[in-house]
Structure formats: structure tokens, C-alpha cells
Structure 1
Amino acid sequence: MAEHYSSFERGGRRWLFQRLTAVFLVGVLAFHFMLLHFVNHAANITFAGTQVRMSQVGYFATMWLFLVTATFHGVNGVYNALVNQGLKGTQQTAIKYLLAVAGLLLIAQGTRVAVAMTNLV
């Protein structure tokens, strides 16, 4: 039988955050599909409608949290996949910081776009 191996420490914070963000992402993705694919069909989505939705504080906060959790989930998943493949030492440290900077830049750019989509600017 194959031995269990994971770069996550059982009971560690990264392990817990990976699972919590997965649950949040599934819920918000279901909300997204329901609202933008079933309630409003894709052909009816307009820039003006997006501005109206993004100008609502609750919707904006939900979409911003979606951005942050998806970024963390993805970056953390890629990092741990690389560690599971044998990444060690200086390369592991360099990749960790490179992914962290890339994640922060993605969140910054996503926040800029989200704010630009509101009627507030």
C-alpha cells in the first residue's frame, strides 16, 4: 500500500486554510453561476449591469473575498505541489517568495479592477 505523503503538516494552518478556502470558493462559485448564468443569462450581462452589482457593498465584498481566497488557494496549492515534487532548500525559499509576490500583485490588480467597476470612482 502506498505511503501517505503531503507537504502539509497535519493540523497545520496552511492545511486548514486550504480546506477553508476550498469550501468558501465552492459556495461563492455556486452563487456566481446561479446569478450570472441562470438568473441573468450571459447574453444579458452588460458593463452597466456589472457596475450596478459592483456598487453594492455586499456584492463587492463577496467578489473581493472571492479574489483573495482564490489567489491564496491557488498560490498555496501550487507551492505545495512543487514541495511535494521535491523542491527544497534555496529553490523552495525563492519559489515561496516569488509566489507570494505574484499573489499580492494579483490581489492588487484585481482590487484595482473591482474598484474601477464601481460607480464610486
Structure 2
Amino acid sequence: MAEHYSSFKRGGRRWLWQRITAAFLVVVLAFHFFLLHFVHHADEVTFAMSQGRMQELTYFSLMVLFLVTATFHGVNGVYNALINQGLSGTRRKATKVVLGVASIVLIVQGVRTAIAWAGGIPI
């Protein structure tokens, strides 16, 4: 019988957060598709409409949370896939640092873009 192998430790938080973020992403993506593909069709969506949505604190907050969640979920998945492929030692540490820095840069730039799109931080 095949052995169970995973880079996630049983009962570990990274495993749990990977599942929680996956569930959140499914819900937010469903909301996105419903709003932007059924309520408004793609040919009706304008920059002004998108900017108007971003000026609402609820929508703005959801999109920033979506950015952070998707970044964590993606980076955590890639990191653990690399560990499953045998990444170890110095390369593992370097990969962890590079992915961590890339995550921070992505989130900072994404939040800056969201703020600019909203015309400032929504109140």
C-alpha cells in the first residue's frame, strides 16, 4: 500500500489555513462570477462601474481580503509542492525567503492599486 506523504504536518496550522483559504476563495470567486457575469455582462462593465464598486468599503475590504487570501493560498501551495518534490536545506530557506518577499511585494502593490482605483481609502 502506498505511503501517505505530505509536506504538511498532521494537525499543523498551514494545512488548516490552506483549506480555509480554499473555501473562502471558492465563495468569493462564486460572488465574482455572479456579480460580473450574470448581474452585469462583460460588455456592460466599465472602468467607472468598477471604480464605483471599489469606493464601497464592503467591496473594497472584500477585494483586499481576496488579494491577501489568494496570495497566501498560492504561495503556500507552491512552497509545499516544492517541499514535496524534495526541496531541502539552503535551497528550501532561500525559496521561503524569495516567496515571502514576493508575497509582500504583491500584497503591497495590490493594496496600492486598490486604493488608487477607489480614489483613496473608502470610508
Q: Give the TM-score range, shorter chain.
A: over 0.9
Deviation per residue, 1:53-92 (Å, 9 max, x gap): 0000000000100000000000000000000000000100
In the superposition, the TM-score normalised over structure 2's length comes to: 0.96
Give the aligned partner of residue 58 of structure 2: 58
Match of 1:83 in 2: 83
In structure 2, the residue matched to 1:93 is 93
Partner of 2:49: 49
| Maintained 8 Å contact 1:52/1:119 | no
The residue identity in structure 1 corresponding to 2:44 is N
Q: For the aligned residues, what is the CA RMSD?
A: 0.9
Distance of 1:67 and 1:120 partners within structure 2? 18
- 1:1-36 C-alpha deviation (Å, 9 max, x unpaired): 211100000110101110000000000000000000
What TM-score do you get using the length of structure 1 for normalisation?
0.97
Partner of 2:115 in structure 1? 115
Aligned residues of 1:54 and 1:114 also touching (Cα < 8 A): yes
Q: Which residue in the other structure is 2:32 paired with?
A: 32
Aligned length: 121
Q: Determine what percentage of the aligned residue pairs are the same residue.
A: 66
CA distance in 2, matches of 1:119, 1:68: 20
